[in-house]
Amino acid sequence: MDLDNWVDLAGSAPLNGIVELTRRFVNPDKVDVFAAAGLAPVMTAREGPYFWDGAGRRIFDAHSNGGTYNLGHRHPELVASLRDALSVLDIGNHHFLSGLRVRLAQELVELCPGDMQYSVLTATAADAIEVAIKSARRATGRRLVVSAVDSYHGSTLGSMAAGDTRNAEYFHSQASRDDVLQVPFGDAGALADLLAQRPVAAVLLETIPATAGFPLPPEGYLRTVRELCSQHGALLVLDEVQVGLGRTGSMWAVDFEQVAPDVLVTGKGLGGGLYPVAAAVMTAHAGGWLRDNGWGHGSTAGGSELGCVVALKVLEIMQRPETLNNVHRSAEQLREGLAKLQAEYPLLVDVRQRGLVLALGLNHEAGGRLMTAHGFAHGLWAMFAAYDPRYLQLKPGLLLTEAQTQELLALLAATLESVSKELARC
Ligand SMILES: Cc1ncc(COP(=O)(O)O)c(C=O)c1O
């Protein structure tokens, strides 16, 4: 096997049987599901808001892998930081103290809302969710976690069991009713009833649930959740893995209600798409175990020093005024453009938007799914919402220029046109 040409190896092999080889050695069902939608997506080259597929077509990445590519693919400053770091560092030793871990932990503590004290650095966000759950259980001496119906927090046993039940049941790993209970997102009454009946360790919510198609929290909901948690001695854990880090137009999605969680989980974009790093940032109370059980959570690659270097650069870029200004400009451009598309295409019945957190709702039960498939044919990559396939999730990069934002709108128009035509034929 020729390992010299990584770009070819990553993606151009559809021409060399990557589909069949993936079916054989990696994940047959994934191949079949994509094939049913006429897709076999791979990435060869990648740069800024684009990647190139196996056929050499340039694709506009409007999904950004859930926010992983918030700053685009291979942001030059991030690539340079990682290159520099690689000339002197490795992942470090997770048992040791590390100045880089201190800097990243402190930066996150200072950037998060409320009175945060510690950052537990992990390699994946699912790990950080596990840390959040463990911390809440230890701090409260209780076991029960309350999460939202149709939520996704990761695929490890604990994070999976805390989210939508289907995969957990499939793997015979569903939580008992003493471990996890769910309430509808946005229903403060249901949460109030539950908290009044049962001692709860943590209320775990995505600030805006991605896989459900980004239903926006009703006005005042998160403030009420905060009050209920404080009243009943439960910790509030907010999962900002997809919607944090500037995507809504402020550093954290929860900032719009000025609510301070006890634990905030971040990941994906924190590593700039170059080096995996995630974190559970927590108050002194939530992180009490860190004062008496320093090895209570071990992870060889958690808080890797290479990841810390990239994450510190990500946070530096995020704090430049021009970054959030660009989010506001691009979000406004999309708001206006999508309103026009809604007037033009009756199929587009709903636009959910907070900054660059967007979901398009179609008047068809598989509308989002069709948009994903037709979009790819037009050179647009955006994923439908798995728990509500009427919706297409849009998570464009935060650094789009005006011309690139316009290009995204044109691609959406072309996609809506062909989905409308297909549905008219049915
Ligand atoms: C909201 C949310 N939380 C947690 C996770 C888990 O992240 P990771 O894949 O890094 O474990 C994801 C991943 O998609 C996510 O979307």
- The pLDDT tens digits of the residues spanning 195-226 come to 999 999 999 999 999 999 999 999 999 999 99
Residue 21: inside a domain: no
Q: Cα–Cα distance between 228 and 188 in angstroms, integer?
A: 9
Q: In angstroms, what is the span from residue 21 Cα to ligand 1's centroid?
A: 27
147, 268, 275, 383: residue to mutate for ligand 1 pocket, most atoms within 8 A of CB? 268
Residue 356: inside a domain: no
Could you tell me the CATH number of the domain that includes residue 228? Answer: 3.40.640.10
Q: In angstroms, what is the span from residue 170 Cα to ligand 1's centroid?
A: 19
Q: In angstroms, what is the span from residue 3 Cα to ligand 1's centroid?
A: 30
Shortest-distance atom of ligand 1 to CA 151: 1
Q: In angstroms, what is the span from residue 126 Cα to ligand 1's centroid?
A: 6
Ligand 1 cavity residues, CB under 6 Å? 66, 124-126, 129, 152-154, 206, 210, 239, 241-242, 267, 278
Domain count, the chain: 1
Q: In angstroms, what is the span from residue 330 Cα to ligand 1's centroid?
A: 25
Question: Domain range for residue 256?
Answer: 78-318
- In the chain, which residues have pLDDT < 50? 1
Neighbours of 148 (CB within 10 A): 26
Residue 207: inside a domain: yes
Residue 406: inside a domain: no
Report the b/e string of 228-264 with b at 16+ CB within 10 A. bbeebebbbbbbbbbbbbbbbbbbbbbbbbebebbbb
Residue 381: inside a domain: no
Among protein residues, the one whose CA lies closest to atom 11 of ligand 1: 126
Q: Cα–Cα distance between 128 and 159 in angstroms, integer?
A: 9
Shortest-distance atom of ligand 1 to CA 211: 16
Q: What is the pLDDT of residue 6?
A: 67
Residue 390: inside a domain: no
242, 243, 264: residue to mutate for ligand 1 pocket, most atoms within 8 A of CB? 242
Q: How far is CA 221 from CA 2, 111, 172, 184, 240, in A?
A: 55, 23, 33, 12, 16
Q: Which residues pair with 263 in a beta bridge?
A: 237, 282
Backbone angles phi, psi at 282, to 5 degrees: -145, 160
Among protein residues, the one whose CA lies closest to atom 7 of ligand 1: 125
63, 70, 133, 153: residue to mutate for ligand 1 pocket, most atoms within 8 A of CB? 153
Q: Which residues pair with 280 in a beta bridge?
A: 120, 265
Q: What is the pLDDT of residue 55?
A: 86
Among protein residues, the one whose CA lies closest to atom 6 of ligand 1: 154
Among protein residues, the one whose CA lies closest to atom 16 of ligand 1: 242
Say if residues 108 and 254 touch (Cβ distance below 8 Å): no
Residue 39: inside a domain: no
Residue 347: inside a domain: no
Q: In angstroms, what is the span from residue 5 Cα to ligand 1's centroid?
A: 30
Among protein residues, the one whose CA lies closest to atom 15 of ligand 1: 153
